[in-house]
Chain A
Amino acid sequence: MSSPTPPPDPTDRPRRPPFPLARWALIAAAVTGVAAAFGYVGGWLDPHRLTPQRIVDRLQVNGGLHPGYRRNHAKGVCVIGHFDSNGSAARYSKAALFAPGRTPLVGRFAIPGGNPHAPDFGVPIRSLALRLTQADGQQWRTGMNSMPVFPVATPQAFYEQLAAGRPDPATGKPDPAKQAAFFAAHPETAAFRAWAKNHKPSASYATESYYGLNAFYFIDAAGTRQAVRWRVAADNRPAGNAPVPPPQDYLDGELNRRLAQGPLRWRLLVTLGQAGDPTADATRIWPQDRVEIDAGTVVIERSEAQDHGACRDINFDPLILPAGIAASDDPLLPARSSAYAESYRRRTAEQAGGATAHAQERAP
């Protein structure tokens, strides 16, 4: 369809346009303007913005750089199991996994912190992350912790908490004065501190309850939204006492001994929020009288070492949700999602580049 171009008409197009400098300047300004806008949106020209990269950088400073490992909750173990739904939550959520029936899951028990070789009893917190995969391919990923409230309510406060928790090069431990100053400046941490004060590090992953911490919405088939929080409550025999002094690595072995005798169980309990219950503040629990639904049983059947287990390459992003569950306005949720993505990006790149990062670290 192309046709030869007619020869340029000298009257139509003067050789030199009027004001050529102004024209060049206009072109330069247009290009620079778009590039600058891109730079601003991308954060390069906005140095004060809290970004996922900055959060993960601080996690890396506090925990040390351990190539191939998660930047937080680095020490953990993969578990395989399923969720047996009894159908009770299906009234509130149309998610297929809440219909009566069984949904396979891959999970991970862990302790917080960026050091994959940290001592198990150095922190009172344990965590459980789950990825449930529905038959339709949609997934529910949730990262839960063994305390009912999170220390802080906002990503900015979390970022400041990381700075206060930075290990002093001299002692290898956080500076108590800095931590005290942080807590004094953040009264919202009181509920968490009260919990931590009275909570001994458990000698088993199996005896803890794990809390979703953030609020979400369940959405039923008619589109009605119900504010919820969830937790899994342990239904396993109590733990024995850990040896004294507590060994560096105890929880994995304890879990394996239990699993050798049979599956472990947790009940999935969903708390229904009422109007006025905070959905955007993970430092505050809801009133005790809220209706609670027993949605079914999380069953853990076996474990796998995290170096090669099924959970290793899963990013337990709490915003990967099936239709029927939606995020609340809790500002921690998008921050978790974006920071987890950055952690996943870094550690998979290290894994692909250094390949045997885990194995190398294991070498004596």
Chain B
Amino acid sequence: MNRDTELFWWPARVLHWLMAAMVLTMLFVGVGMVASVSARHSWLLALHKPLGAAILVLALLRLILRLWRAPPPLPADLPALQRIAAQTSHWLLYALMLALPLVGWAMLSAGGYPVMLSDSLRLPAIAPFDADWFARLRWLHRVLAYSLFGLILVHGAAALYHGLIRRDGVLRSMLWRRRAAAETPSPPQDAD
């Protein structure tokens, strides 16, 4: 058996860490821009929209890869409740990464705003101009964003729990290499 089977497939790891940075940035940008009246408001807003579009595209790609290739299995001795929590939270993370950009896009459409990704690149509207829908989607965008942030905190805490307390290889499976493996006689390979 290839030792890499304990690791996430390399495209999954690349996407995970890239999107971790993007999604966290996005959440901070979002919460910062709505609480700012300075020039920061403008440039954060200008960053928020193209970054959201990029996250949507990458989240779709990631979902396809995830369905195509299963992740390494969870440790056999993981309690059932933690196993369910892990699986549920991972699918929730996918759902939120896809839903937030879509809700944001629909929200701007319903508010009658041109959805500008740059000075001149405009996305089409995906919802009719309707202030009631804007109100609902604006609320939903905020609630989903806080939910995603909370879930990311739980996810990060769980990852550290696996890495620091249980030390069961789950955290390592999303990192770049296995722990320097004294127990394996073969020399390290970098065939990720």
B31-39, B53-61, B84-92: which lies at the A interface?
B31-39
- Residue in B42, B111, B130, B167 whose beta carbon sits within 8 Å of that of A334 in the complex: B42
Q: Which residue of A lies closest to B131 (CB)?
A: A313
Q: A326-B119, A327-B42 are in contact. Are A31 and B165 (CB under 8 A)?
A: no
B17 interface contact, C-beta 8 A: no
Are B73 and A2 in contact, with the CB atoms below 8 A? Answer: yes
B149 interface contact, C-beta 8 A: yes
A residues within 8 A CB of B165?
17, 20, 23-24, 27
What are 11 residue pairs bridging A and B, where the CB atoms are less than 8 Å apart in the complex? Answer: A4-B73, A8-B168, A9-B183, A13-B168, A41-B35, A42-B35, A52-B36, A53-B35, A320-B114, A334-B42, A349-B139
Interface centre among B35, B39, B77 (most CB of A within 10 A): B35
| Distance to closest chain A CB from B63 (angstroms) | 17
- Total contacting residues, chain A, CB less than 8 A: 64
- How many CB-defined contacts (below 8 Å) exist between A and B? 155
A30 interface contact, C-beta 8 A: yes
Q: Which residue of A lies closest to B68 (CB)?
A: A1
- Residue in B37, B119, B138, B166 whose beta carbon sits within 8 Å of that of A338 in the complex: B37
Are A38 and B31 in contact, with the CB atoms below 8 A? Answer: yes
B41 interface contact, C-beta 8 A: yes
- Total contacting residues, chain B, CB less than 8 A: 57
Q: A313-B131, A349-B139 are in contact. Are A334 and B119 (CB under 8 A)?
A: no
Are B32 and A329 in contact, with the CB atoms below 8 A? Answer: no
Are A5 and B76 in contact, with the CB atoms below 8 A? Answer: yes
A179 interface contact, C-beta 8 A: no
Q: Interface code A164-188, partner B: CB below 8 Å = 1, 0 otherwise? A: 0000000000000000000000000
Q: A31-B156, A344-B111 are in contact. Are A313 and B129 (CB under 8 A)?
A: yes
B residues within 8 A CB of A338?
33-34, 36-37, 41
B residues within 8 A CB of A319?
42
A314 interface contact, C-beta 8 A: yes
Q: A31-B153, A320-B113 are in contact. Are A334 and B122 (CB under 8 A)?
A: no
B164 interface contact, C-beta 8 A: yes
Q: Which residue of A lies closest to B71 (CB)?
A: A2
* Bound-complex Cα distance A256 to B120 (A): 37
B190 interface contact, C-beta 8 A: no
- Residue in B34, B122, B160 whose beta carbon sits within 8 Å of that of A52 in the complex: B34
B80 interface contact, C-beta 8 A: no
Q: A313-B131, A334-B39 are in contact. Are A137 and B73 (CB under 8 A)?
A: no
Are B41 and A352 in contact, with the CB atoms below 8 A? Answer: no
Q: A35-B153, A344-B134, A348-B138 are in contact. List 5 more A-B contacts (CB 8 A).
A: A1-B70, A12-B183, A38-B27, A138-B120, A337-B45
Q: A5-B73, A5-B74, A338-B36 are in contact. Are A30 and B160 (CB under 8 A)?
A: yes
- Residue in A5, A20, A23, A345 whose beta carbon sits within 8 Å of that of B75 in the complex: A5
A residues within 8 A CB of B156?
30-31, 34
* Bound-complex Cα distance A342 to B35 (A): 10
Q: Which residue of A lies closest to B179 (CB)?
A: A12
A51 interface contact, C-beta 8 A: yes
| Distance to closest chain B CB from A5 (angstroms) | 5
A residues within 8 A CB of B10?
none
Name the 6 nearest CB pairs between A and B, nearest first.
Answer: A43-B35, A352-B135, A323-B120, A42-B31, A313-B131, A335-B37
B residues within 8 A CB of A20?
165
Q: A9-B183, A338-B41 are in contact. Are A352 and B32 (CB under 8 A)?
A: no
B residues within 8 A CB of A13?
166-168
| Distance to closest chain A CB from B137 (angstroms) | 10
A351 interface contact, C-beta 8 A: yes
Q: A30-B160, A31-B153, A349-B135 are in contact. Are A37 and B28 (CB under 8 A)?
A: yes
B residues within 8 A CB of A335?
37-38, 41
